[in-house]
Structure 1
Amino acid sequence: MNHYINNFYKNQAFFYKAFLFILTAVMVVYLMPKGGKFKYEITKGKPWQYENLYAPFDFAILKTNEEIVKEKDQIIANHIPYFNYNEEIVEKVKLNAAEQISVVFSDSIINRRGRVISEFVATALDGLYENGVLQEQTRLAEDHLVYLKKGNIADEITYGKIFLQEEIPDYLTTNINRSNLTSLRPELLELFYNSIEPNVIYDSSFTQKELDSKLNSISYTRGSIERGTIIISRGEILEGQKLNVLNSLKQEYESQIWSESSYNWILFGYSLLVSMALLMLLLFIRKYRRDIYENNVKITFIFFNILLMVFLTTLVVNFEPRYVYIVPLSILPLTLKAFFDSRLGLFSHVITVLILGFVVPNSYEYMFLQIIAGIVTILTVSELYKRANLFISVGQITFIYIVVYFAITVIQEGNVQDLDMEMFLTFILGGLATLFVQPLIYIYEKLFGLVSDMSLLELSDTNSKLLKELSEKAPGTFHHSLNVANLAEASANEIGANAMLVRVGALYHDIGKMENPTYFSENQTTSVNSHDELSPKESAEIIIGHVIKGIEIAKKNNLPDRVIDFIRTHHGTSTVYFFYMKEKEQNETAVAANFRYPGPIPFSRETALLMMCDSVEAASKSLKEPTTAKIDDFVEKIINKQMDEGQFLNSNITFKEIQLIKKILKQKLKNIFHLRVEYPE
């Protein structure tokens, strides 16, 4: 039992990766569509390159989206709205008008012309309320047909036959003039204004209900294909009816309700493909990015980002496939490049796009477009911490999307009239969404404890709390760190290393000297040397201790591990040679191990580079009357000694790169000492 437990603890990193691999694969497969995948690629305008295709089962021919939209628009345009006619209001108005006669007209007028007035009012109201008075005007033409509902009967009339309230004065004036009642016009108008009420109202709910009923009755198919019927022959062009029938077959095939056995086989197939893709990514990281492979947090981060992109894409596809390009897939290579490198970013992007090819419609177009966009992302984005660079890169990515979409559409349609302008909008929105990468990187840094160039830029600020404390407590060390940072940055640019990371590492590599600043020569301002009162061994312990103290201070101030690595390794396993030789003068049995830094030795190009720059800059202070020859010999001697001691064995740095670093250091030191070329006499 103990044997198995020991094996588990010994291989827990491997078991974690296996668990992460399986979990990611399962979740990706869960998000994928569960229908079958049509095995033929359908590209409009291209010849059919497969064998003759016969219908495998009976299926209906689907109408195109354009045909359905056109049919719906026609139904909406021809739909007749409904208006409700209220007869109770009419009876109320007539009674009220009859009462108003005695109120508005004097008794003498009523006695003389009462019968004429009553007949006129009744006739005018009958004409006015024949089709009713509309309460609210709707946006319809006068000749537009409408249904006027009177009880359970709906009469079809033109909209212009219903009186609008603003038309009533003209109607009354015309009738008064025609009936020779002009002398009584003011009284009659007052009577009507006091009595008339609108009695027709637009029935929006019933109208919408009828419209929905008609829209729902639209047939989405036209005709059918029987099993065994030839659909398309080899070499025929995919267009018109042939293309429509093929798309109908594809949709029917992918929407079939599969038997339990078939469904399980589909799941098994998806699982194999997804697992294969993720395994290729894992093997790539294991072979070419061993440091990332051995860090489970980084592996988790990579798999999480792939899963996030798959989740967002499937979410959009399930909602509306047309908007699939709104998903900012270029964020994936951007993010991985910010934390790792371009090669890993592009490889992960390609793997993700291959997986999404089984999720999105028109998979070939999607994969081609997204891979091109990913390549452009990797090639254009540099120094992500500079906001202008990000905006320029996003603009370039969006432009590439538009150009590739334009090219594909022209190939398929053979003209530019069928370009979908809405697609250009989705590309622009996707580009704008890509700008979210900066806050996303910040979130990732907090969640996964990673560090990007943006964080390094913040740490390189010499006004930060820790560097200010260093400049106050150990000004000589601070000045030394600045010089080392400049040398290291120039050298890193020469060999293509991470210049920002090296600069930050150089600024913080000696923060441990804040504990005992006067024990380091660069901080001694008087002729009194603090080491005079100590034994060589005690002095060496203080000198060596600044590495451990630096690590403690860095962790206390939450510096990233990538920066702390420079503190750990900037002396490697070298010996404090001055005090070792001093001890040896006093005691011939002195042990060199007591005067050696604990290490580890540098394990990257950047940490190795800092060791060289730190040693050269510190030792350069001891040069007396420096000349070009002295500096060249001096740099060669220091770096060659480090090579002889095996300090760079784990740093993956080449002899050529070391030579380039030597060249830069010699040049920079000559500039520092203001040396000129020695002219012959």
Structure 2
Amino acid sequence: MIINMKSNKSKKILTFILTVIFISILLITSLVTQKYDLKEGDIARVDIKAPKEVTDTLKTKEKQVQQEEAVPLQYNKNVEIKKETLQEIDTLFFQINKYLDSGSNDANKIEQLKVDTKINLSEEELKALTKLDKSQLKVLQDNLIRIMNKVLDLDIREENEEDIKKAQDAVAVKINSSKLSRNLRDLGIRIGTIMIKPNFFYDDSKTNELKAEARKSVQPIVIKKGQTIVKEGEPVTERDIIILKDLGLLDNDNNINIYITIVALVVFIIFLQWFYIYRYYKKLFDDYKKLILLSMLTCISVLLARTLAIISPFLIPLACVPMLFTLLINYKVSMTYNVFNCILISAAVQFNIEITLLAILNGILGAMALKKLQQRNDILYVSIFIGAMSVVLTLTVGFLLSNNVLEVLKKSGFSFIGSVTSAILTVGFLPFFESTFDIVTTIKLLEISNPNHPVQKRLLLEAPGTYHHSVLVANLAEVAAEQVGGNPVLARVSAYYHDIGKIKRPMFFKENQLGSENPHDKINPNLSTLIITSHVKDGVEIAKEYKLPQVIKDAIEQHHGTSLVKYFYITAKNNSEKPEEVKEEDFRYQGPIPESKEVAILMLADSVEAAVRSISEPTKGKIEEMVNNIIKARLNEGQLDNCDLTLKDLEKIRKSFLKTLSGIYHQRIEYPTEK
């Protein structure tokens, strides 16, 4: 099958395929390395070195286990146990005293006493207690409370027989050393030892927390890039196999699967990018040169990532391509395209989470920060700001993932350098893309908007009235363009240059006559019309002479569209003996009509400013009527048919004009003169 390469569709298909191939090769060389068919116990035939830095997981894990095992078990003391135990002793003696007060020796009451006291004393021991008089009970109770109050301060761990035995022995020693009688000591020891219970309980949560901290405190044992993993002639160990596996150096016969996966990923991402452009920016999609530009920028972003990742992925100028997208296309395309590019960049750095997050941050800030660029230096300022934000992100994520302070600081420094490098590359790439793809960036527009530009200086000196008119039109156009989502800088700069053709014959235009004689009074209307309309052609020639961008030439050529030079047309009809023979087309501009929002706004602003200036005593009502009539006339004439302005946009433009004009033509106080 022969493909017709002159077909725009065929060119796009080829561009898509070449883009996919180029990016796939970059990613495959990044993700796929030489494989080795080895297993534990094999003898290595060659030295195998680490192609990148990797953590020795086995040794790191061993060290973590050692640190965990060194953490002592954690316990919490339950102080309520002591209170409860002392309360139980008091309850025991209260119930015995109560029993004695009843004066009964009923065996059933002894059983009831056993239940009420909740202490595991035998019937004989309870009977022995009931045979004591109240004074003996009081002495025994006081001694038990005193001794137990001290013993229960000991740490008695649960399920620890040694601790329980130690506490019980302490009770026995203290009671035996007291001045109690033998039978009271025996009863006291029995009650005291029964009352000993654990008060120090294992805290699983705290123990695990300390173990986790101990594990986290272990610095990963890192195998550096280029470090020998396996030496030639030596047996391959389990540790070697784990490291080789982590590095992806073991031959798993999955290379073909990796290739297919990478290509599929690239196809999917590029397709989504193109579909987005096709769906929301059809005009951009139809422009083959712009489509090549988009593909080139995507390739550059992956190429930069793949190349600089060899040194350090943190040196990648991640903001470069987003800034180029914003300057060459617009920030909305930049935002969306770079979301997809982040996936490709992530793949180029082996899905490093830190770089992926940095790419997203740089993409968003790089696109948004240059949205309202004012001067070329803004690129540097923006890159420094992005660099600072990158440092903050790198430090935050770095310390979450690692405790290696020096390594995190080094990465942060590299990320800042990468951001500043973005500015250098952006400024370097910009002229190439501007000239190659005939794109006028905001920077270029700002450069030619300088009043010291040769054309502007000529306009000021040779046609000062036109210069002043152009400045007023620029103010009207800029504000209106911003209201309808146009390019305010383009609208403003187009206004500065739209009438430069009047430089050739300035005195034939009313704003430059300044009360002097009007040369049109001495020539016929047809010649006057030819002179008036020729300022468009003259303007285009001057623009070419000074190598002004194509968009400025288009604005000059289209700002009058095919409108009628009404004054001279009516004059010609009034002066003609046969007015019906006066052809309207002889008094019209050659066009074409405006093809963009900005030029359409320029047309309206130009007409409005000139018309309002002609009002002898401008009032708010007169100005509003004039603005309404001009917009309505241009709409009815079909001058706005080829631009993207809607009726809602025209209403916004109308209101914007009125607001700006009210500031220009506001009523002033008439100052009194001295007598």
In the superposition, the TM-score normalised over structure 2's length comes to 0.64
Structure 2 CA distance for aligned equivalents of residues 36 and 675 of structure 1: 72
Q: Tell me the equivalent position of 1:33.
A: 28
Conservation of the 8 A alpha-carbon contact between 1:34 and 1:263: no
The correspondence for 1:372, drawn from 334, 351, 361, is 361
SS at structure 2 position matched to 1:347: helix
The correspondence for 1:600, drawn from 592, 606, 618, is 592
Q: Tell me the equivalent position of 1:249.
A: 245
Q: Tell me the equivalent position of 2:306.
A: 314
Decide whether aligned partners of structure 1 residues 463 and 59 sit closer, same or farther in structure 2, where only a CA change above 3 A counts.
Answer: farther
The correspondence for 2:456, drawn from 461, 464, 467, is 467
Which is worse superposed, 588-597 or 627-636? 588-597
Which AA in structure 2 matches 1:642?
R
Which is worse superposed, 568-577 or 381-390? 381-390
Decide whether aligned partners of structure 1 residues 307 and 266 sit closer, same or farther in structure 2, where only a CA change above 3 A counts.
Answer: same
Q: Tell me the equivalent position of 1:420.
A: 408
Structure 2 CA distance for aligned equivalents of residues 509 and 642 of structure 1: 18
Q: Tell me the equivalent position of 2:15.
A: 20
Q: Tell me the equivalent position of 1:274.
A: 266
Q: Tell me the equivalent position of 2:278.
A: 286
Structure 2 CA distance for aligned equivalents of residues 658 and 247 of structure 1: 67
Q: Tell me the equivalent position of 2:429.
A: 440
Unpaired segments of 5 or more residues in structure 2?
42-47, 61-226, 670-675
Structure 2 CA distance for aligned equivalents of residues 325 and 476 of structure 1: 56
Decide whether aligned partners of structure 1 residues 672 and 417 sit closer, same or farther in structure 2, where only a CA change above 3 A counts.
Answer: closer
Conservation of the 8 A alpha-carbon contact between 2:558 and 2:592: yes
- 1:294 Cα deviation (Å)? 3.1
1:222-266 superposed Cα distances (whole Å, 9 cap, x missing partner): 9645xxxxxxxxxxxxxxx9xx976642423xx45687xx76665
Which AA in structure 2 matches 1:558?
K
Structure 1 CA distance for aligned equivalents of residues 620 and 267 of structure 2: 60
SS at structure 2 position matched to 1:435: helix
Q: Tell me the equivalent position of 1:643.
A: 635
Which AA in structure 2 matches 1:464?
H
SS at structure 2 position matched to 1:470: helix
Decide whether aligned partners of structure 1 residues 217 and 275 sit closer, same or farther in structure 2, where only a CA change above 3 A counts.
Answer: closer
Q: Tell me the equivalent position of 1:550.
A: 539
Structure 1 CA distance for aligned equivalents of residues 40 and 437 of structure 2: 52
SS at structure 2 position matched to 1:32: helix
The correspondence for 2:609, drawn from 605, 613, 617, is 617
Decide whether aligned partners of structure 1 residues 17 and 548 sit closer, same or farther in structure 2, where only a CA change above 3 A counts.
Answer: farther
SS at structure 2 position matched to 1:33: helix
Structure 1 segment 381-420 matched on structure 2, within 5 A: 381-386=370-375, 389-413=378-402, 420=408
Conservation of the 8 A alpha-carbon contact between 1:568 and 1:600: yes
Conservation of the 8 A alpha-carbon contact between 2:498 and 2:555: yes
Decide whether aligned partners of structure 1 residues 34 and 327 sit closer, same or farther in structure 2, where only a CA change above 3 A counts.
Answer: closer
1:147-174 superposed Cα distances (whole Å, 9 cap, x missing partner): xxxxxxxxxxxxxxxxxxxxxxxxxxxx
Structure 2 CA distance for aligned equivalents of residues 626 and 217 of structure 1: 87
- 1:425 Cα deviation (Å)? 1.7
Conservation of the 8 A alpha-carbon contact between 1:383 and 1:389: no
Decide whether aligned partners of structure 1 residues 290 and 497 sit closer, same or farther in structure 2, where only a CA change above 3 A counts.
Answer: same
Conservation of the 8 A alpha-carbon contact between 1:350 and 1:371: yes
Conservation of the 8 A alpha-carbon contact between 1:573 and 1:601: yes
Structure 1 CA distance for aligned equivalents of residues 252 and 548 of structure 2: 56
Conservation of the 8 A alpha-carbon contact between 1:25 and 1:271: yes
Structure 1 CA distance for aligned equivalents of residues 370 and 636 of structure 2: 39
Decide whether aligned partners of structure 1 residues 458 and 389 sit closer, same or farther in structure 2, where only a CA change above 3 A counts.
Answer: closer
- 1:36 Cα deviation (Å)? 6.8
Q: Tell me the equivalent position of 2:289.
A: 297
Q: Tell me the equivalent position of 1:675.
A: 667
SS at structure 1 position matched to 2:347: coil
Structure 1 CA distance for aligned equivalents of residues 492 and 300 of structure 2: 33
Which AA in structure 2 matches 1:395?
I
- 1:431 Cα deviation (Å)? 1.9
- 1:298 Cα deviation (Å)? 2.4
1:545-568 superposed Cα distances (whole Å, 9 cap, x missing partner): 222221222122111112222112
Which is worse superposed, 569-578 or 501-510? 569-578
Which AA in structure 2 matches 1:251?
L
Which is worse superposed, 485-494 or 344-353? 485-494
- 1:337 Cα deviation (Å)? 0.7
Structure 1 CA distance for aligned equivalents of residues 442 and 621 of structure 2: 38
Structure 1 segment 567-606 matched on structure 2, within 5 A: 567-585=556-574, 586=576, 587-606=579-598
Alignment of 1:333 with 2:327, yes or no, is no
Which AA in structure 1 matches 2:588?
R
Structure 2 CA distance for aligned equivalents of residues 553 and 418 of structure 1: 60
Which is worse superposed, 424-433 or 587-596? 587-596
- 1:328 Cα deviation (Å)? 0.5
The correspondence for 1:523, drawn from 512, 522, 540, is 512
Alignment of 1:452 with 2:447, yes or no, is no
Structure 1 CA distance for aligned equivalents of residues 514 and 616 of structure 2: 19
Alignment of 1:626 with 2:618, yes or no, is yes
Conservation of the 8 A alpha-carbon contact between 1:470 and 1:511: yes
- 1:609 Cα deviation (Å)? 1.4
Decide whether aligned partners of structure 1 residues 18 and 534 sit closer, same or farther in structure 2, where only a CA change above 3 A counts.
Answer: farther
Conservation of the 8 A alpha-carbon contact between 1:604 and 1:651: yes
Decide whether aligned partners of structure 1 residues 558 and 217 sit closer, same or farther in structure 2, where only a CA change above 3 A counts.
Answer: closer
Conservation of the 8 A alpha-carbon contact between 1:406 and 1:419: no
Unpaired segments of 5 or more residues in structure 1?
39-55, 72-214, 226-240
Structure 1 segment 41-440 matched on structure 2, within 5 A: 58=39, 224=237, 248-252=244-248, 255=249, 266-317=258-309, 319-320=310-311, 323-386=312-375, 389-413=378-402, 420-436=408-424, 437-440=426-429
Aligned residues: 487
Decide whether aligned partners of structure 1 residues 357 and 671 sit closer, same or farther in structure 2, where only a CA change above 3 A counts.
Answer: closer
Structure 2 CA distance for aligned equivalents of residues 18 and 570 of structure 1: 37
SS at structure 1 position matched to 2:418: helix
SS at structure 2 position matched to 1:354: helix
- 1:482 Cα deviation (Å)? 1.7
- 1:391 Cα deviation (Å)? 4.3
SS at structure 2 position matched to 1:358: helix
1:364-413 superposed Cα distances (whole Å, 9 cap, x missing partner): 44323311331132233344343664444323322332333344344445
1:166-188 superposed Cα distances (whole Å, 9 cap, x missing partner): xxxxxxxxxxxxxxxxxxxxxxx
Decide whether aligned partners of structure 1 residues 256 and 384 sit closer, same or farther in structure 2, where only a CA change above 3 A counts.
Answer: farther
Conservation of the 8 A alpha-carbon contact between 1:604 and 1:650: yes
Structure 1 CA distance for aligned equivalents of residues 651 and 251 of structure 2: 68
Conservation of the 8 A alpha-carbon contact between 1:382 and 1:389: no
Q: Tell me the equivalent position of 2:655.
A: 663
Structure 2 CA distance for aligned equivalents of residues 418 and 222 of structure 1: 35
1:44-76 superposed Cα distances (whole Å, 9 cap, x missing partner): xxxxxxxxxxxx9846999985769x99xxxxx
Decide whether aligned partners of structure 1 residues 541 and 325 sit closer, same or farther in structure 2, where only a CA change above 3 A counts.
Answer: same
Decide whether aligned partners of structure 1 residues 62 and 518 sit closer, same or farther in structure 2, where only a CA change above 3 A counts.
Answer: closer
Structure 2 CA distance for aligned equivalents of residues 628 and 384 of structure 1: 35
Which AA in structure 2 matches 1:444?
F
Structure 2 CA distance for aligned equivalents of residues 36 and 345 of structure 1: 27
Decide whether aligned partners of structure 1 residues 340 and 36 sit closer, same or farther in structure 2, where only a CA change above 3 A counts.
Answer: closer
SS at structure 1 position matched to 2:526: helix
Conservation of the 8 A alpha-carbon contact between 1:339 and 1:450: yes
Q: Which has the larger radius of gyration?
A: 2
